[in-house]
Amino acid sequence: MYDTRGARTSARARASAAVLGAALLLAGCSSSDGDQAADAGAGITQQPKSADPFWVNPDGTAARQLAAYEKAGKKTDAGQIRKIAEQPVGEWIGPENPEQEARGFTEAAEKSDRTALLVLYDIPHRDCGQYSQGGAADGDAYRAWIDGVARGIEDRPATVILEPDAVLHLVDGCTPDEFHEERYDLLRGAVDKLKSLKNTKVYLDAGNAGWGHPDQIFQPLQQAGIDRADGFAVNVSNFYSTQDSIAYGKQLSAKVGGKHFVIDTSRNGNGPYTEGDPAQKWCNPPGRALGETPTTKTADPLVDAYLWVKRPGESDGTCKGGPKAGQWWASYALALARNSN
């Protein structure tokens, strides 16, 4: 439902190599407070750390699109894409080189005095055969992958969104019963491994305001290790309003020991799509908009941050004319930006 690694192999390989260069660039070009780091193309800078401590990748897909538009003299389009390119977005770690990617992103972030935002999405039997099916081959492969991510992060600051869909699909019947026990064990193990790191925060994915009721998911979250995590994430890759997401998160928090949570606001500016096939409302819906920009200054003390976990402009899947899940879709990115304030 959220992303696919196969569709992004070439882009991810490019990013893995580029991010190490970006780290050197950020170190050499940043000002004393780290707010002026920029690449030579699009001139991407870090956001003020006091409100938004997360790292902006100066070589992200949106930044490259921005540079291309500027080179082509498309100033209006460039101005719209800049709304995306200048914000920190989640870096989804791929299956092949988790240690290298995690190290590259966290080193670049640390050199800019920022925190890397990482998304881990490789659980076995992922996405129940939908657009983002795949994941690790088995439990041992997943544990090895998590170990690689942890080695890459080391003691550098990182915020991790752990396994979008994984708990939700245990509840909604999507994941077959025979895989439940293993999945809980893998999630608990991942939480423990990541929380053994000095400066890593972990938020387990916990669905969204439109899928069901917190009563259905709080016990599965407990089985998945929420007590040892920093909290949970809501609305990942979805479109429910920030207000509705806060209400859902607060209800759920009350059932899991008052845990804090983060909200994906990347595409929720106009709320959810209400037309067409209800089962496909989440997939590349038209008329959506960018939501609140990433920040730790939120409307509720239980909400640790608004984040752009889903990367705005990347397709949800081959629906409504979109490319494969995870591929950049410039026209959709432009629409999200144009529809936002």
Active-site entry in 3, 77, 113, 127: 127
pLDDT digits (tens, 9 = 90+) for 28-68: 333 333 333 334 456 899 999 999 999 999 999 999 999 99
Grade residue 18 by pLDDT with cuts at 50, 70 and 90: very low
Higher pLDDT, 202 or 35: 202
pTM tops 0.85: yes
pLDDT digits (tens, 9 = 90+) for 108-162: 999 999 999 999 999 999 867 566 567 999 999 999 999 999 999 999 999 999 9
Residue 33 catalytic?
no
24 has a pLDDT exceeding 80: no
Its sign, for the CA torsion 66, 20, 14, 57, is negative
CA 250 to chain centre: 21
Average per-residue pLDDT for the chain: 89
Mean of pLDDT values over 73-98: 97
103 has a pLDDT exceeding 90: yes
Q: ∠ CA 157-208-254 to the nearest 5 degrees?
A: 80
Token code pair at residue 74: 């498309």
Q: Which amino acid is at 230?
A: D
Grade residue 309 by pLDDT with cuts at 50, 70 and 90: very high
CA distance 250 to 171: 19
Active-site entry in 52, 122, 165, 244: 165
Residue 127 catalytic?
yes
Residue 192 catalytic?
no
At 129 the pLDDT is 59
DSSP state of 161: E
Proportion of the chain above pLDDT 70, given as a percent: 86
Higher pLDDT, 19 or 179: 179
In the chain, DSSP assigns E strands to: 91-92, 116-120, 158-162, 200-205, 231-234, 260-264, 303-307
- Cα distances (Å, whole numbers) of residue 59 to 15, 25, 252, 269, 337: 8, 11, 37, 25, 19
Mean of pLDDT values over 3-21: 39
At 2 the pLDDT is 47
What DSSP string describes 247-276?
Answer: HHHHHHHHHTTT-EEEEE-TTBTT----SS
For residue 55, the cross-strand partners are none
Mean of pLDDT values over 16-34: 37
22 has a pLDDT exceeding 50: no
3-class secondary structure, 11: helix
3-class secondary structure, 213: coil
Residues 305-314, buried b or exposed e (16+ Cβ, 10 A)? bbbbbbbbbb
